[in-house]
Structures are given as structure tokens and as C-alpha cells.
Amino acid sequence: MTITATIDEHEAVTLTYTRMNTTSNLGVPDAAAFADDLLSTFKPDQDDIYRDAYNVLVKPDGVKVEVHPHSFPIPWQHITSVVDQLRACGIS
């Protein structure tokens, strides 16, 4: 399984999940603080994060990113990789 994160010039993030022959995408608009939000989920007392454009819901196996009406799971072991990709693109 691979999760990649890219950003466009409007600070919108696209998450792409690839596993074998399956690919799924989720666009996350207004994601200027998205990397920080993901990284904060490693704090033991972190609650779900609700933003105007997206939500980051803490789950036992990772997080679920919601952009109504769609969602995208990010397992714990992939969060750091996604954060690193976003920071390389200039998202905090």
C-alpha cells in the first residue's frame, strides 16, 4: 500500500491511496494546516479535528480524513510519510 500527497497552487491537497490494482483519491481544500493536524494526532489526548473544509477523525487504526461526503483512511504507519510529503511541498 502506498499513500501519496500532492498540493496545488490553491493549497488544496490530493491524497492518493494505491494498493495492488486499486487507486482512490480525495481532494482536501484549504489545507494550509493539514500536515500539522495530521501530526498532532500522535498526541495521546488528541481529539478529532474539525476544520471548515475537512475533518481529521482519530480512529484505533489511524485517522479518517473527511471532506463531505467522502472520506479517506490513513493508517498510523503512513501518517509520518504523508506529513513529510506535505512539508516538502510547503504545507505546514
- DSSP H helices, the chain, are 34-40, 76-88
pTM of the model: 0.90
Q: What are phi and psi of 21, to 5 degrees?
A: -100, 15
> Residue type at 2?
T
- Residue 19 has what pLDDT? 85
Q: What is the pLDDT of residues 50-86, one digit of tens each?
A: 999 999 999 999 999 999 999 999 999 999 999 999 9
pLDDT for 92 equals 64
Per-residue pLDDT, 49: 97
Higher pLDDT, 11 or 23: 23
Distance, CA of 11 to CA of 83 (rounded, Å): 14
